[in-house]
Amino acid sequence: MDMTITDEKQQSSLLPMAIVAILFFILGFATWLNGSLMPYLQQILQLSPFQASLIIFSFYIAVTFTALPSAWVIRKVGYKNGMALGMGVMMVAGLLFIPAAETQVFALFLFAQLVMGTGQTLLQTAVNPYVVRIGPEESAAARVSVMGILNKGAGVVAPMVFTALILSNFTGTVGTELTQAKIDEMADSLVLPYLGMALFIGLLGLAVKMSPLPELEKEKEQASSEGQLKEALATPSLALGVVALFVYVAVEVIAGDTIGTFALSLGVENYAVMTSYTMICMVLGYTLGIITIPRFVSQPTALMISAVLGTLLTLLIIFGDSSSFVIANTLLVPFGGAQLPDTLLLIALLGLANAIVWPAVWPLALSGLGHLTSTGSALLIMGIAGGAFGPLFWGIASGTSLGQQGAYIVMLPCYLFILFYAIKGHKMKSWK
């Protein structure tokens, strides 16, 4: 798929990149709010770790059902209109949190999360090809890294905003039995923030619709959707790339969204801000990606390093000591930071290992797809469904003798598959 040839597009790609950058920030903000929302709802609705994991599951499972329909929608209305439509759906989802908070019905929260995931899927399917196709393929990972910094930078900000607007009003609640009056107060505190977010996203969607964002060339309907799907999956580098993104998003969401729940179990008062620690590490990882790819290391090599680091950190988390504070006492406390258990900070460091995976897999998986790019993009977006199952499996494992700390063992096979894709999978162009 090639960009439409226009004088404006040939002269500069700064404007579309700037618009897309804003969208990536919004995607990150809405996504990583889950890391704060999960333990918060667990506290006020008195959920088990497994039930709390359903909050994340309902958000990411939407990808499974809406990724391919999103590609069809984009082929019909175009990428620009697809972005605006995706943001419209996200606005509706934000409004759904209001009745969910007022009634404190868990099912309504799950439905709101499902709708939010649907809107995010449409927006992701439309916006990612811009970044990959707006410049040379060999530097695509660096461009995606720039977008990733904004996305994960929003992930740093979102928990802080959540804590400032909501959690800061309810100190001293961790480890205590909440009265119904306190539960009502904590639930009602969600209304105004989500109303404000919904209105902002809606206005931004309207602005994108009216913006001079250039359109990508629409793909010709050369075959049925089923035919395009089969043709795309006939390329192993794409099919395996989908699996790689599935397991990657699983570990990314485990690291970003379960860290708050784990912190709550350890009695950490500011559990809602823990996702920010993981996101800070991801921003650092993206920055390293921009500096080193492809100047010093290739995309496959960076992917391999990430997989190895993720494997080592996972082992340290599983066998680490939650009563030890060596890392915090060395890196945080001397500079006025919080004294946090080593295991929590090791989970945060997974952000460093995870950062390069997404920007490295996308260009490797889409390489050479041509007119099948939107179908390939939709399939890769479906990999985000891993975010539904990663925390779910972690939640299930948490209910066994492994406990919440030992449950992080579910990440090991994920990093091992990413390592396989980095070494061999991305090179496979035929199943024979």
pLDDT in tens, 177-195: 778 888 888 888 888 889 9
216 strand-pairing partners:
3
Peptide bond just before 129 cis, omega within 30 deg = no
Cα separation, 230 vs 198, in Å, equals 38
Q: What is the pLDDT of residue 136?
A: 64
Mean pLDDT, the chain, as a whole number? 84
Alpha carbon dihedral 228, 416, 65, 364, in 10-degree steps, equals -40
pLDDT at 145 over 70: no
Is 133:4 a contact under the CB 8 Å cutoff?
Answer: no
Q: Confirm if 419 and 357 have CB atoms less than 8 A apart.
A: no
Res 12: pLDDT: 52
pLDDT band at 160, cuts 50/70/90?
confident
Length of the chain in residues, anyone? 432
**Burial letters 343-369, b for 16+ CB under 10 A, else e:** bbbbbbbbbbbbbbbbbbbbbbbbbeb
Rounded to whole angstroms, the Cα distance separating 380 from 244 reads 9
Maximum average pLDDT range among 112-116, 163-167, 289-293: 112-116
- What percent of the chain has a predicted confidence (pLDDT) above 90? 32
The 3-state DSSP class for residue 3 equals strand
What DSSP state is assigned to residue 216?
B
Indicate the pLDDT class of residue 4, thresholds 50, 70 and 90.
very low
Does residue 432 belong to any structural domain of this protein?
Answer: no
Q: What was the pLDDT predicted at 97?
A: 92
Q: Which two tokens stand for residue 280?
A: 């800070």
What pLDDT is attached to residue 11? 44
Mean pLDDT in residue range 126-147: 69
Compute CA 374 distance to the chain's CA centroid, rounded to the nearest angstrom: 20
Of 194, 27, 167, 165, which is closest to residue 96 (Cα–Cα)? 194
The total number of structural domains in the chain stands at 1
> Is 413 part of a structural domain of the chain?
yes
- Report, as an integer, the average pLDDT of 359-377: 78
Lowest mean pLDDT among 63-72, 184-193, 196-205, 329-338: 63-72
Model pLDDT, residue 88: 94
Residue 128 in any domain: the answer is yes
Q: Choose the weakest-confidence range: 128-132, 136-140, 169-173.
A: 136-140
Question: Residue 339 is part of which domain span?
Answer: 7-218+225-427
**Mean pLDDT across the stretch 349-368?**
86
- Which SS3 state, helix, strand or coil, does residue 1 take? coil
Domain assignment of residue 401, yes or no: yes
Structure token pair of residue 166? 């909501």
Per-residue pLDDT at 415 exceeds 90: yes
Nearest partner of 218 among 356, 374, 368, judged by Cα: 374
Using alpha carbons, list the distances in angstroms from residue 272 to 95, 238, 349: 22, 36, 17
Q: Are 70 and 82 in contact (CB under 8 A)?
A: yes
More confident residue, 129 or 183: 183
Taking each helix axis from N to C terminus, what angle separates 357-366 and 299-319, rounded to the nearest 10 degrees?
A: 140
In a domain, residue 114? The reply is yes
Assigned token pair, 239: 């099919």
Confidence of residue 142 (pLDDT cuts 50, 70, 90): low
Q: Is the pLDDT of residue 369 over 80?
A: no
Let me know if residue 113 belongs to a domain: yes
Higher pLDDT, 184 or 417: 417
The single-letter code of the amino acid at 68 is L
pTM: 0.78
1, part of any domain? no
At position 214, the amino acid (one-letter code) is P
- The pLDDT score that the predictor gives to residue 367 is 76
Contacts 24+ apart (CB under 8 A), 210-215: 211/19, 211/80, 212/8, 212/15, 213/15, 213/16, 213/19, 213/80, 213/83, 214/3, 214/4, 214/6, 214/8, 214/9, 214/16, 215/4, 215/78, 215/79, 215/80
Which phi and psi angles does 71 have, rounded to 5°? -65, -40
pLDDT of residue 10: 40
Share of residues in the chain with pLDDT > 70 (%)? 88
> What per-residue confidence (pLDDT) applies to 8?
44
CATH assignment of the domain containing 283: 1.20.1250.20
pLDDT digits (tens, 9 = 90+) for 11-63: 456 677 778 888 888 888 888 888 888 888 888 888 888 888 899 899 888 87
Is 385 part of a structural domain of the chain? Answer: yes
- Give me the pLDDT at residue 9, please: 43
Question: Average pLDDT of 215-233?
Answer: 62
pLDDT score at 364: 85
Query: How many other CB atoms sit within 10 Å of the CB of residue 189?
Result: 17
So what's the pLDDT on residue 85?
A: 93
Burial class from Cβ neighbours inside 10 Å (0-12, 13-18, 19+) for residue 168 reads: exposed
Element (H, E) at 262: helix 259-265
Question: Could you give the CA distance from residue 147 to residue 355 in angstroms, rounded to a whole number?
Answer: 11
Specify the residue for token string 């107060």: 185
